[in-house]
Structure 1
């Protein structure tokens, strides 16, 4: 089936005239790497369950990509067919995406934590023809689950299992065959080659507000911010990247799967986040770059207290997904040479903003960066009128890396006639164009007619010695409209925390009483999306049934 998108000829012309889009595919960059550095290590995969690791050179990666691509064709995969995969951070996922691009198919990465409920919806809507899964990962039998789904879903023709046997074996079906001697592989790939404007990735949103939507990206939209990001951070072929964030999330996909190939660099994939093991990997492989959300940075900063000498190669940490608490930056700075880069983005855009190497380190705490080349931001009031610097309003984005539509839901695209996309975030811009994300539009708490500065209060509470993570949401109240509820998890060694202690802590930091939580609940874990973002909509649901303060 041909993907129907919201991409217009006018946008294509404008983006190509600006130089933002160049019609290069990720496989073109793979071919360049094979030509220039065939024996350089492309991927190192660390498997935590077995304690083993494997390496692939660019030549070996390209050979496996060709085999997988031909194998997919032999299974009946046509141009624009969707190939889904629910894989950990293993080399097979990188190879599978490259193979799909070779034959004009579309990769649909799925988070390994998804189960039947989520997968049934996504696989059915995507009409996936092939699903690739591990046999068992983190104690869960993905092979058995996938086999059960195959019986339910008529469009799912093949389930391939890494480590499986027989007809469902990934290796046997896609790697264990010799290319047909009569098959002209080069001609096959040339005939199947997608354009830069064809959809190559279908990635479902994490679901912070409910039902996921299928985000469609092309080679042009994906590559148009990888190049500027690499340039802004002065990255090159010698920059080895450690990627513990899931490749099935946009951050991992773009910067752990695609960007190293573009740079002709080496990617280190850690399939399960274990901070102590990450220290061993960094000591052995000496990566210069790591990317992840705030919890990854927090863990590395904690490990640096006792293992700082082992982590000295880590020169850059790009942190995205949530504001970075200042105590975390201070802790990292005490034991690491690492420059922390703050970033903001979405599945629909990839990274849109980052702080810069020349910025004062405080910028990473105070802002979420400024737009990358070919991207623009604006902040508006409720009527859509642009607001001056310093005022909070609705955040809009437009530019080269903007996606090309939601799969089978073109009416939800939301882009206006001038190309602006409503992000659903609240933000403010400063005089220099740096943005600060202040919350989601649905995260606003209005108590007695006054907007509560949620992010500022959360950042302050992160400084509390007992609090590991915190999320503030509103509880409906007949008199005040809403009351402020705090949900927290505690650090190891702390068993309890009272509302009185929280109030005293905030009062000592001169936080106005009207901004202080009126309800507190300590949880074992906060509900999160697969990418680590706190699902405040679930906490809001919980708050509606919480006892009134």
Structure 2
């Protein structure tokens, strides 16, 4: 039964979402069976450079077989089954099999460390942990029954799965993929992602003829709809990478004639900074969905010019879902410099502390609507996530213009306080990324005895030939500052320290782990 203990929805809202068609009675498991009947021999999931390629008939049969084995080892309705597995066809089969057992997936990112895994297992009270072979040895000592996927597939015990979940039931618990501290567990129904799926189809004019390449970790919000929800509901072919690299992504696009690429903004910047983007034929791309972080304008515009594809953004979070989105019909400047128009079905208010400042057009967004999650597991920190009257808060500061377009100007917790002046890290990063030598940038506060904090920027460099730097690949702070001043960038956004590193640290969700950078600069 649905869990309405969260303030996310009232019973009247649930009824309205169904009546409007934003929510459906069709589950992902139902959609898999439909695909197996309509297009049985069409490739469903393909592991790039792997051995697995499943047609929709094979996918459906594999999910049934896995569900029977799970039932045979005692998985019952309502159980929470943790999955710590690389991105592959197998993880999607496993998610559907768990759904067919009436159980709940606890999704753990493939790059999660033991400390994060332990915290998620404890918070979710998972009954069983299923891993791939690579992570199976790491899972020993976690105090939970553990099965590798290979061991599960050899189990002879066959059981009768409990009735599958409904579209309004809790089907997934995942983590926030935050950049600092331990993750919180977020509770999801299928329908909040079904709504998101419908919006993506409309904004990107998607069809079953598209070929998807999602390169965001599966269990997280962005990865969940791009690799699981939308490919299954549309019945497309989805090509999966075990691990992201610019070269592998470009090669996969060329080989499979990918038409829809789904990536976080950092990955897009890394592709443009890599020579592979010029070595492969990327002309099959039609749509690129990106987000998760601020989108740097320069590499995004260059990517569109190179490929002919259009980049679309959604603004939202794992908790809130989508608040705004861009469409294929939006002009370039709107698509790349804003998060798009506010979605009509999502009511949005703006706050400054506890004060409603919606009329000013600037503040911290809060929302209610069919895209929101049920919040955090067990109501943890709901006093911080929700306003007293039940609106779900974002952690950003945004502006909404007269035409309804939303722009993120900073995070409530991602400002550098220099001499009493709040400096947006996102604005610093966007300015720094205009330099052709820089592939990825992250701005953090650097402690200072006089000003309290100063601006420190960590960067990864682009390919030397593409960047136009000297043969040693050097970039010095004065060169960067001179470049920014030449563009007329505000002096308050100028970095005061530049740290060039081979690779910025990433969270298990693929975002830049700023917490680690802050610790480094503090030392």
Q: How does 1:126-141 map to 2 (within 5 A)?
A: 126-136=124-134
The structural deviation recorded for 1:441 is: 0.5
- Residue in structure 1 matched with residue 149 of structure 2 by the alignment: 162
- Residue in structure 1 matched with residue 40 of structure 2 by the alignment: 38
The structural deviation recorded for 1:347 is: 1.4
The structural deviation recorded for 1:5 is: 4.2
Aligned to 1:252, what secondary structure does the other structure show?
A: helix
Assess, with a 3 A threshold, how the Cα gap between structure 1 residues 543 and 374 changes in structure 2: closer, same or farther: same
Matched, 1:307 2:309: no
Using the TM superposition, name which of 313-322 and 365-374 deviates more: 365-374
CA distance in structure 1 between the partners assigned to 2:277 and 2:517 by the alignment: 33
CA distance in structure 1 between the partners assigned to 2:235 and 2:404 by the alignment: 32
Q: Deviations over 1:89-113 (max 9, x none)?
A: 2111111111111121001111112
Q: Does the aligned pair in 2 maintain the 1:466–1:491 contact within 8 Å?
A: yes
Matched, 1:457 2:428: yes
Q: Which of residues 522, 536, 547 is equivalent to 2:500?
A: 522
Q: Which of residues 313, 330, 344 is equivalent to 1:359?
A: 330
Q: Which runs of 5+ in 1 are unaligned?
A: 137-141, 164-168
RMSD: 2.5
Q: Which runs of 5+ in 2 are unaligned?
A: 465-471
Q: Which of residues 468, 472, 475 is equivalent to 2:443?
A: 472
- Residue in structure 1 matched with residue 198 of structure 2 by the alignment: 227
Aligned to 2:518, what secondary structure does the other structure show?
A: helix
- Residue in structure 2 matched with residue 145 of structure 1 by the alignment: 138
Assess, with a 3 A threshold, how the Cα gap between structure 1 residues 275 and 446 changes in structure 2: closer, same or farther: closer
- Residue in structure 2 matched with residue 394 of structure 1 by the alignment: 364
Q: How does 1:90-109 map to 2 (within 5 A)?
A: 90-109=88-107
Aligned to 2:455, what secondary structure does the other structure show?
A: strand
The structural deviation recorded for 1:421 is: 0.9
- Residue in structure 2 matched with residue 15 of structure 1 by the alignment: 17
Q: Deviations over 1:309-331 (max 9, x none)?
A: x2211111111122222221232
Aligned to 1:473, what secondary structure does the other structure show?
A: strand
- Residue in structure 2 matched with residue 172 of structure 1 by the alignment: 154
Matched, 1:407 2:385: no
Matched, 1:268 2:239: yes
CA distance in structure 2 between the partners assigned to 1:521 and 1:303 by the alignment: 23
Q: Deviations over 1:23-78 (max 9, x none)?
A: 321112222222322222211112xxxx4342211111111111111111111112
Q: Does the aligned pair in 1 maintain the 2:116–2:182 contact within 8 Å?
A: no
- Residue in structure 2 matched with residue 166 of structure 1 by the alignment: none
CA distance in structure 2 between the partners assigned to 1:514 and 1:204 by the alignment: 35
Assess, with a 3 A threshold, how the Cα gap between structure 1 residues 30 and 146 changes in structure 2: closer, same or farther: same
Q: Deviations over 1:332-379 (max 9, x none)?
A: 133212111122221113444321110112222211122345223333
CA distance in structure 1 between the partners assigned to 2:30 and 2:198 by the alignment: 14
Assess, with a 3 A threshold, how the Cα gap between structure 1 residues 539 and 392 changes in structure 2: closer, same or farther: farther
Q: Deviations over 1:274-320 (max 9, x none)?
A: 33233332222212101001233234444565335x22111111111
Aligned to 1:502, what secondary structure does the other structure show?
A: helix
CA distance in structure 2 between the partners assigned to 1:330 and 1:458 by the alignment: 16
- Residue in structure 2 matched with residue 444 of structure 1 by the alignment: 415
CA distance in structure 1 between the partners assigned to 2:94 and 2:323 by the alignment: 26
Assess, with a 3 A threshold, how the Cα gap between structure 1 residues 520 and 101 changes in structure 2: closer, same or farther: same
Assess, with a 3 A threshold, how the Cα gap between structure 1 residues 320 and 103 changes in structure 2: closer, same or farther: same
- Residue in structure 2 matched with residue 27 of structure 1 by the alignment: 29
Aligned residues: 512
Aligned to 2:46, what secondary structure does the other structure show?
A: strand
The structural deviation recorded for 1:200 is: 0.3
Aligned to 1:358, what secondary structure does the other structure show?
A: coil
Aligned to 1:60, what secondary structure does the other structure show?
A: helix
Q: Tell me the TM-score normalised to structure 2 length.
A: 0.91
Matched, 1:68 2:48: no
CA distance in structure 1 between the partners assigned to 2:362 and 2:357 by the alignment: 11
- Residue in structure 2 matched with residue 115 of structure 1 by the alignment: 113
Q: How does 1:264-303 map to 2 (within 5 A)?
A: 264-301=235-272, 302-303=274-275
